[in-house]
């Protein structure tokens, strides 16, 4: 592109190569520059021009995410995920946290909360849920966030945009409803809302870049609990969140007579 700068225009060449694309507006401005570049290349012909035409779209920043479930993130792929988060390299990670392995039929993962019963963990999980958010925060290199789309659909895209704007590996933990949780997933967003309103899944962000500006890197995007935590358990069928069968395995869960349908949330 530098070799063609006399014909493309020095200013456009410099702007294309040095564009700040950390915000949506910055990316849109770069798209417009690429459109202009294509116009200026229209009547030119050389191998450099051909190459530039073929690769011009690469000048616009792409949003690329690695996506997996909690089984991947907390267990079977944890080594790799942990390495990326600790490295500080800008690789975006999204965990769809259903708190249970679904694809293989319903085993507990390290994300499964204490006392929960899964199809292949009938005695109830004895250990507490692993705190991936805390692990990520402890490195001080990653931009971590916890979201639940059903609770606040404006918060989720804001968090994604923010996470992409910083030159840090974003790790987003998204509370996700799932058929293995045993309720009608048509009510999944209500389930997510219950998880947030009850304080079970408080949305939060931790961005170490803010500390450099003298700000608190941790932002809690959640109000005090407004519904009983029981609401979350009641909506899940016995298969996932039921009274643990083995004594001493976690707190007593709600009655195991879930209907598989979401129920209205009870105020605290
Ligand atoms: C290293 C490795 N171990 C085991 C498996 C077998 N396996 C395939 S999917 C899966 C469950 C993954 O659960 P999760 O990541 O929570 O995704 P979900 O099925 O809930 O979408 C397992 C254990 C695998 N693919 N790779």
Q: Are strands 143-147 and 92-97 parallel, antiparallel or unpaired?
A: unpaired
In the prediction, which pLDDT does 237 show? 52
Ligand 1 center to 81 CA (angstroms): 14
Q: Which residue has the tokens 């694309």?
A: 21
- Cα dihedral 38/42/45/51 (nearest 10): 20
Ligand 1 center to 111 CA (angstroms): 13
Q: Which residues of the chain have pLDDT under 50?
A: 238-247, 250-268
Instruction: Confirm or reject: Cβ of 101 under 6 Å from ligand 1.
Output: yes
pTM, two decimals, is: 0.81
Ligand 1 center to 77 CA (angstroms): 9
Q: Give the integer Cα–Cα distance in Å for 22 and 162.
A: 9
Ligand 1 center to 120 CA (angstroms): 14
Which residue lies with its CA nearest to atom 1 of ligand 1?
Answer: 76
Q: What residue segments make up the domains of the chain, in order of their start?
A: 2-59, 65-235
The per-residue pLDDT for range 59-112, each reduced to its tens digit, is 999 888 999 999 999 999 999 999 999 998 889 999 999 999 989 988 999 999
Which residue lies with its CA nearest to atom 21 of ligand 1?
Answer: 69
Fold observed for domain 65-235 = Rossmann fold (3.40.50)
């Amino acid at each position: 592109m530098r070799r063609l700068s006399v014909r493309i225009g020095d200013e456009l060449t410099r702007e294309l190569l040095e564009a700040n694309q950390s915000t949506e507006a910055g990316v849109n401005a770069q798209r417009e520059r690429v459109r202009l570049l294509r116009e200026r290349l229209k009547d030119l012909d050389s191998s450099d021009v051909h190459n530039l035409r073929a690769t011009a779209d690469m000048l616009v920043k792409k949003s690329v995410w690695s996506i997996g479930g909690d089984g991947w993130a907390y267990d079977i792929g944890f080594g790799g995920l942990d390495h990326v988060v600790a490295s500080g390299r800008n690789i975006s990670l999204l965990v769809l946290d259903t708190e249970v392995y679904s694809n293989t039929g319903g085993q507990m993962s390290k994300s499964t909360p204490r006392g929960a019963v899964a199809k292949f963990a009938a005695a109830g999980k004895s250990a507490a849920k692993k705190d991936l958010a805390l692990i990520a925060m402890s490195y001080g290199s990653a931009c971590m966030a916890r979201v639940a789309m059903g609770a606040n659909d404006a918060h989720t895209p804001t968090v994604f945009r923010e996470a992409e704007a910083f030159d840090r590996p974003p790790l987003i933990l998204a509370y996700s409803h799932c058929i293995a949780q045993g309720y009608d997933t048509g009510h999944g967003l209500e389930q997510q809302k219950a998880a947030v309103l009850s304080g079970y899944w408080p949305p939060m962000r931790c961005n170490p870049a803010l500390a450099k500006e003298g700000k608190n890197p941790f932002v809690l995007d959640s109000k005090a609990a407004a519904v009983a935590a029981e609401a979350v358990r009641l909506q899940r069928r016995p298969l996932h969140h039921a009274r643990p069968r083995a004594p001493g395995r976690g707190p007593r869960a709600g009655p195991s007579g879930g209907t598989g349908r979401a129920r209205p949330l009870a105020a605290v």
